[in-house]
Chains A and B, each alone.
Chain A
Amino acid sequence: MRKYFQPEIETAPREEILKIQNEKIVKQVRHVYENVKYYRDLMDAKGVKPEDIKGVDDIKKLPFLSKADLREAYPYGLLGTDIKNCVRIQSTSGTTGKRVVAFYTQGDVDMWEDCTARAIVAAGGDEGDVCQVAYGYGLFTGGAGIHGGSHKVGCLTLPMSSGNTERQIQFMMDLNATILCCTPSYAAYIGETLAEKGYKPEDNKLKAGIFGAEPWTEEMRRDIEKNLGIKAYDIYGLTEISGPGVAFECEEQHGMHINEDHFYVEVIDPDTGEVLPEGSKGELVFTSLDKEAFPLLRYRTRDICVLSREKCSCGRTFIRMTKPMGRSDDMMIIRGVNVFPSQIETVLLNEGYSPNYQIVVDRVNNSDTIDVFVELAPEQFSDIVSRHQAREKKLESAMRTMLGIGPKVHLVAPKSIARSEGKAVRVIDNRKLHD
């Protein structure tokens, strides 16, 4: 069984990785400066020229990018190459109505799939495996990214997409799936459904699971491992940078190795933007070192993490990041989908409601629930029940379109949503997602 997908780079000495990074960043900054006017303007405003960047140590001189920039530059403003060179888009939530659209050349897709292939091999995958991909397919990066990596490894790939648990289980059992890839909450749900059907953990042929796209705890990992009889591996990524596979766990299951030959990582103080030393808790910032179509430099992820260069027994030399310990913004991850309160606010305003609302997120039977409480204005009140139900349905449908997941809407009396110091508490998250 192979231990690494690309051993020469995954176990390369630190100096060699640094050399690769230094060469790539010089080229990449020039590429971005020449082709992305939006970022060129940011660099000019900061007085930074491409020739100022001689290696990764100079990256800190570059301006940051954030979700706000992606919204500003939507849809083509951060495109680094001609559309005719692009072969694909993937998309994720924006902070309001506009989604984030990321472009890929064939080279970008290849690089991304190399990264997910590394994750699959690190989880013990090889060409003899049957890899069940139960991440959503479509605009979401989960399905497409793992699917491509699974091909590269040579696994028999089951492109299941998410949902239809009966069919998932049928294929899993009949085709002897050995690796399951999905969100951790869906893995837990599949485990429970198997148990309900009378299957014991040893009845399935699964050996590993690659789970990501949402926060999960060590406790949840142990439960999934026990219920499915597998080892459960974490994977990290974001559409803006490529998708899952930016970082992945190895057999140590102790932090995720960042694919440093493609992504340069920094941890910053979210308030000051100052770069923090290794081992400090702060916001993750990624610089794409070789992406052509959507080459983001110093993209602020808003994920709060700690990095470690401590030697890993797996032999990989890539730096490791902890699971995200929280967010430096108000983004929630619900059933693997990024949700911002501002998206919900946009829907309410569009539909003629006041922006007095509260979002309650919970996890029931391993599935996230989202309830939105909306204050009714006096003029919206009717004595007829069905009119209120129609209002709720209409809001639910508009929110489903905006968010990609369907919340349950509850109309409540005016001024009934608790306010603290005059300000409404927008989000109550009852899930315990961080250890």
Chain B
Amino acid sequence: MAIQQISVFIENKQGKLLNTVKAISCEGINIRAMSIADTQDFGILRMITSDHDRTLEILKEESIVSTTEVIAVKMEDKVGSLYEVMKILSDAGVNIEYMYAFTATESFGAYVIFRVDDVAQAQELLDKSGIPTLCEEDMRAL
């Protein structure tokens, strides 16, 4: 039940990030979750948006984009919940490339996006442990 994340190559030049965000905003697309990785030469903007396909279409005109499957895992508001999830993945040898947190409304709660090397295995492990994750429909319903 992995969800689609879009990654965008952002040149390290003034206005590049702004233009990318503007393009999405003009199309009425909502950014649900995002993170930026920056290097000396460029940044990588990773987002989960309200309309993945449309976002992809718009941004590939301007830059390089790619789609990656990630898992949005619900975090209980208690000490140790992130550790618990990570331990499940780690014990099974699933490697975490990166992760970032996001939230929406108070009732929605907190989620952490996991980018892992083996999505299918990670999803299966989390399902088996009864840890809630989001699917595409959940994201669209937000």
A residues with a Cβ closer than 8 A to B are: 376, 378, 381-385, 388-389, 410-414, 416
Contacts and interface: CB of A to CB of B under 8 A. Distances in A.
B41 A385 contact: no
B63 A383 contact: no
Contacts of A416: 11
A105 to B, nearest CB: 50
A101 B2 CA distance: 58
Given A376-B9, A381-B9, A383-B7, A410 B41 contact: yes
A412 B66 contact: no
B58 to A, nearest CB: 15
A383 B60 CA distance: 14
A358 to B, nearest CB: 13
Nearest to A411: B41
A413 B66 contact: no
B121 interface: no
B41 A384 contact: no
B66 A389 contact: no
Contacts of B131: none
A382 B41 CA distance: 14
A371 to B, nearest CB: 10
B94 interface: no
Contact of B68 (A383, A389, A411): A383
Interface of B: 5, 7, 9, 11, 37, 39-42, 44, 46, 60, 63-66, 68, 97-98, 115
A383 B117 CA distance: 12
A388 B10 CA distance: 13
Nearest to A414: B64
B44 A383 contact: yes
Contacts of A412: 11, 41-42
A310 B114 CA distance: 77
A18 B5 CA distance: 78
Which secondary structure dominates where chain B touches chain A? Answer: strand
A378 B64 contact: yes
A-B residue pairs, 9 tightest by C-beta: A383-B7, A381-B64, A410-B41, A385-B37, A378-B64, A383-B68, A413-B11, A384-B97, A381-B66
11 contacts: A378-B66, A381-B9, A382-B66, A384-B97, A385-B37, A385-B39, A385-B44, A389-B39, A410-B40, A411-B41, A414-B64
Contact of B42 (A378, A383, A411): A411
B17 to A, nearest CB: 13
Nearest to B98: A384
Nearest to A376: B64
A384 B99 CA distance: 11
Given A382-B7, A412-B42, 15 more contacts: A378-B66, A381-B9, A383-B5, A383-B7, A383-B66, A383-B68, A385-B37, A385-B44, A385-B98, A388-B39, A410-B40, A410-B41, A413-B9, A413-B11, A413-B42
Nearest to A388: B39
A383 B63 CA distance: 13
A383 B47 CA distance: 11
A417 to B, nearest CB: 11
Given A381-B9, A383-B7, A413 B44 contact: no
Most buried by B among A376, A385, A389, A410: A385
